[in-house]
Structure 1
């Protein structure tokens, strides 16, 4: 039975600060119970509370404490940075409950930031091409999406955008459309006041944000239903 989210522990951020300072497997093992009680268990409760509420709202996003939470251990095999632990915790809710789908909800709690995002992040080539083509051929539909998001004070992010227009879209010169077509991701984000993370109100804030970002999910899903893999196109 799902345990309703009641907030992260008061020692959640102090734990992350200490872990970031020590970056020691020995220290982590000695303090694992604190990690579980202050961060991991509450994060699992948050994911499952959101999964229930997203389901009730018809958002098409779900998750659970087994599949949705990212590990706090870093993969250092191919990294020059050999610190064994991250300084944050995070989780993802998706259409099928795994981390492999597109059109997702993401939550991040760390020393540098606390935020939620709804994203089409690094979509495969055929999907990205279809999204760009939709912006080109249905500009008013895209502009309506942008306007609806802005009413909720949400802006599409530009992280990782191309500096030049992708091949086949050079003829698109309208500033807003060209900027959108250069995107590699389609993401909206809401920063969260760290003071709220210790209260059940965090879940309410995240549900409200997901509902406000729903137009981005719906836009992408409508395009996703028309995508033909490039190898078949």
Structure 2
């Protein structure tokens, strides 16, 4: 039954461990009720509770229990790794409620780690170019963004950053700006204590993180021309 998020079941992580050990469709189907009660249904409730809280906070992010979650099944068509199941479950809340938009909230509950993120991840070439131009031509706004995030105990991640400055930005010599222009993504993230996923207080933790990351959402939306 849908309702307010009450926490993931105590067997949520143990289920993922067992699934990772078996990696077997027969085992999964035999234990599907456990998956639904301990992990999937609570995740759906989390998405819908966050949607309500994000709306109240004016964050412009939403989702629902049908569209927001990624499937636990892996797409193995083009992968050498043929294990059928992921080691995690995750979801996206976005401006339009789909997984296709940019400027999103992401939450990930998994064996290796649990974390949340606010991201402009793999933006289109046009949007990425606009972001890089904004950094180069309005450095004071970008530096204000970095300062606001630092004040909120956040900083940009550097995963997948280019080793060389992209063509057309060779004139940008300030090291902080040049590094930023080499980013392929603009995102911040925060670890979630796995022991805390069983409590409804996880919602407050995730709302607090997203509010602290709001300067990043505002910056990207302004570049898009979609300021809230």
Normalising by structure 2, we get a TM-score of 0.98
Whether the aligned pair in 2 keeps the contact of 1:8 and 1:198 (CA below 8 Å) is yes
Distance (Å, rounded) in 2 between the aligned partners of 1:195 and 1:74: 26
Distance (Å, rounded) in 1 between the aligned partners of 2:57 and 2:2: 18
Distance (Å, rounded) in 2 between the aligned partners of 1:141 and 1:198: 39
With 149-158 and 37-46 compared, the bigger mean Cα shift is at 149-158
Note the C-alpha offset of 1:116.
Answer: 0.3
Note the C-alpha offset of 1:225.
Answer: 1.3
Question: 2:76 corresponds to which residue?
Answer: 76
Unaligned 5+ segments in structure 1 are 227-233
Note the C-alpha offset of 1:146.
Answer: 0.3
Distance (Å, rounded) in 1 between the aligned partners of 2:76 and 2:107: 23
Distance (Å, rounded) in 1 between the aligned partners of 2:89 and 2:156: 24
Distance (Å, rounded) in 2 between the aligned partners of 1:32 and 1:52: 28
Distance (Å, rounded) in 2 between the aligned partners of 1:28 and 1:193: 26
Normalising by structure 1, we get a TM-score of 0.96
Q: How does 1:140-151 map to 2 (within 5 A)?
A: 140-151=140-151
Question: 1:102 corresponds to which residue?
Answer: 102
Unaligned 5+ segments in structure 2 are none
Note the C-alpha offset of 1:151.
Answer: 1.0
Question: 1:133 corresponds to which residue?
Answer: 133
Deviations 1:155-192 (A, max 9, x none): 11111110000010011111110000000000000001
SS in 1 for 2:105: strand
SS in 1 for 2:197: helix
Note the C-alpha offset of 1:13.
Answer: 0.4
Note the C-alpha offset of 1:2.
Answer: 5.0
| C-alpha RMSD of matched pairs (Å) | 1.0
Question: 1:230 corresponds to which residue?
Answer: none
Distance (Å, rounded) in 2 between the aligned partners of 1:152 and 1:194: 22
SS in 2 for 1:144: helix
Question: 1:212 corresponds to which residue?
Answer: 212
Distance (Å, rounded) in 1 between the aligned partners of 2:38 and 2:8: 6
